[in-house]
Amino acid sequence: MKNSNQTVIRVGIADLKFVKAPDTIRTLGLGSCVGVVVYDDTKRIAGLAHVLLPDSSHTKQTNLNAFKYADTAIPILVDELVRNGASKLRLKAKIAGGAQMFQFTSNSDTMRIGARNVDMVKEMLKGFEIPIVSSDVGGNSGRTIEFDPITSELKIRKVRSDEYVI
């Protein structure tokens, strides 16, 4: 239940933000994108990255948005949490999204953006030895997620579905 001292920090697409209790953090529009929450439940701080694409190495952009890609956003997420008092040994993750929003006749790996996003997020978190304690990925529905660093609950609302918690 939201109290009057609580603010909801909103994270846009290809964005990354941080939150400390009692505030919560939310992102909308997770289709093939993946919402990556990394948190320290003792310090009650968390970061949320709204990952749009898996890998920055294929971009031709000169002004790279590091928050857009799993391989660049997750290191920033971890570094900033530790810089703000989180213990690297206590970090945990919850992830949601990675849906296959459109059905294609081709089985091309290029069109499997959601699955590729999920795979890269898992690979990056494993590299930092951050356990994924729960996830809600795949399917073909968009999601809105909100994380509460007090309870470590990730509320998920899917299109045409009730809200649930992981």
**Angle in degrees, CA 118, 20, 128, rounded to 5:** 35
Number of C-beta neighbours around residue 13 at 10 A: 15
CB 124 within 8 A of CB 69: no
Amino acid in position 3: N
Dist CA 153 CA 79 (whole Å)? 22
**Residue found by looking up tokens 């206590």 in the block:** 90
Planar angle of CA 28, 106, 120, nearest 5 degrees: 45
Please pick, among 19, 33, 113, 156, the residue that the annotation labels catalytic: 33
> Catalytic residue at 33?
yes
What are the residue numbers of the active site?
A: 33
